[in-house]
Amino acid sequence: MKKLLISMMALLAVISAKADNDYSRYYQNLPVVMPQPTLPSIPDNQINLLDCGGNGNGMSMNTEAFSKAISKLEKMGGGHLNVPAGIYLTGLISLKDNIDLHLEKNAIIVFSENKFDLIKTDKTTGEKEKRASNCITASKRKNISITGAGAIDGNGEWWRAVKRSKVSDVEWKRFLEMGGTINAKGEIWYPFNLKQQPDVTTTMEEEENVRNHMIRFTDCENVLVQGVKLLNSPRFHLIPTRCKNVTIDGITVKCPWNAQNGDAIDISSCKDVLIVNNIIDAGDDGICMKAGAGKGGVEAGPCENINIQDNTVYHAHGGFVIGSEFSGGCKNIVVRNNAFQGTDAGLRFKSAVKRGGKTENIYIDHIYMTDITGDAITFETTYWDNHVGAKAPKKDIQNMEFVPDFQDIHISNVYVRGCKNGIVAHGEEGMVHDIAIKDSNIFYNKKATDIADACKIKLERVQFDTFKK
């Protein structure tokens, strides 16, 4: 009787969600023409994880239960995998066609702190892969979704290196109590030689390279992520890659502010995407557009037809970001009615030679920023990935392939109360040009603008102010 009641409640939640999935209002009066993403079509079949051996006691492993439930739904042609309230420890989860992973309120999926649970082993050779697989994956699938009011916890502290400069004495002591290894300079803690978990590599640097993402959809079509909380990923939280028709609505992404590479939402070479009503508090980029580096990025194609509205970003290394790698280009992107509160940067455009591409038809309007610790609007063309322990590369002046080309960007009605610098832009001739910023107010603390002569940015009716000297 109890299981029947749970299933009925899950079905009602699904019906209610369908009623709320009218997104047509976000496509009214857009400055560019773009299609509305097609939502996934999920059959009404219902399977409860508990009926497949699931146990939400926080101690039992549920890897096999998830696999069994997904296989059963696949044979039925798809449906909803309902996860009731509880704590479900698990390894890898792989979604199939026409399947919705639905987390009910107080349902928490926690990925194992044992890295071996997330590293696949070749069944023929017995050798393990060099990198952990992403916690939840779908590849070349159609009609997939993750919905509900529950949470997904990546257990990222067991995976991420930590810089001493980014944590308090109390936090640093907590990491030392886990064991781990500190580098020779005493500035970086690595989750290597932990007291409670085995190593999967032979060096701390290799252990860092094992790190995985939480949710990655690759070459998928009709994708919905709605309502859920994504917490504490080992690396990026949500990264659709080369997908078409993606809707991300009303999710919460949260991890420690110092989580290295803790990006919230990274859209990579996707087409027809809607991102609305999300709350982000992340360790790295907030809402980020990527399109690959070099020839691989060109082959993957651009980020195209991306609609981003009504989101709130708290801590992040940029509220809205393009780059660093976008060789495939970014075009037809609308960013409207978003708030950035306490981000390191507000609107951030970053790239470098060998990983740059071209932007087209980028429209950003009605952005509200408070307490920005760095630049409100910034263009940087010599960016390099500052992962833990990385060294800055030597400047490549010989090979000028895949040069950043930030152009055709229209920014208006930006209101900033508190930032270090207002508008900052650096780059060689032709890297930053045909940029318009108008009808905006920026209250800054250090500099109103720092724009290189080679950067062609037109300011119209932009008011700057700061504290009186």
* Res 391: pLDDT: 54
Per-residue pLDDT tens over the stretch 249-307? 999 999 999 998 999 999 999 999 999 999 999 999 999 999 999 999 999 999 999 99
Binning pLDDT at 50, 70 and 90, where does residue 130 land?
A: confident
pLDDT digits (tens, 9 = 90+) for 218-230: 999 999 999 999 9
Handedness of CA 442, 446, 449, 450 (dihedral sign): negative
pLDDT-derived band of residue 388, with 50, 70 and 90 as boundaries? low
316, 282 Cβ separation under 8 angstroms: yes
Sequence ranges of the domains in the chain = 39-155+211-465, 161-210
Query: Residue range 133-160: average pLDDT?
Result: 97
pLDDT score of 383 more than 80: no
Q: How confident is the model at residue 16 (pLDDT cuts 50, 70, 90)?
A: very low
The domain at 39-155+211-465 falls in which architecture?
3 Solenoid (2.160)
Percent of the chain with pLDDT over 70: 92
Phi/psi region, residue 155 (left: phi>0; alpha: psi -120 to 50; beta: rest), is: left
Tokens found for residue 120: 């696949």
CB contact burial 5-38 (16+ within 10 A = b; e otherwise): ebbeebeebbeebeeeeebeebbeeeeeebebbb
Give the closest residue to 181 by CA, choosing from 347, 462, 388.
388
Amino acid present at 74: E
pLDDT of 397 reads: 47
Q: Give the pLDDT of residue 394.
A: 57
Percent of the chain with pLDDT over 90: 87
Q: Which two tokens stand for residue 148?
A: 């509900």
The two three-digit tokens of residue 122, written as one number: 């070749």
Mean pLDDT of 112-133: 89
Predicted pLDDT of residue 8: 57
The token duo for 216 is 């990655």
**pLDDT, averaged across the chain:** 93
Is the confidence at residue 457, as pLDDT, over 60?
yes
pLDDT, tens digit, 9 for 90 and up, residues 47-100: 999 999 999 999 999 999 999 999 999 999 999 999 999 999 999 999 999 999
Residue 389 has pLDDT above 70, yes or no: no
DSSP state of 173: H
Rg (CA), the chain: 22
Summarised one tens digit per residue, pLDDT across range 203-215 is 998 989 999 999 9
- Asked if pLDDT for residue 5 goes beyond 60, the answer is no
Q: What is the tens place of the pLDDT at every residue in 22-45?
A: 999 999 999 999 999 999 999 999
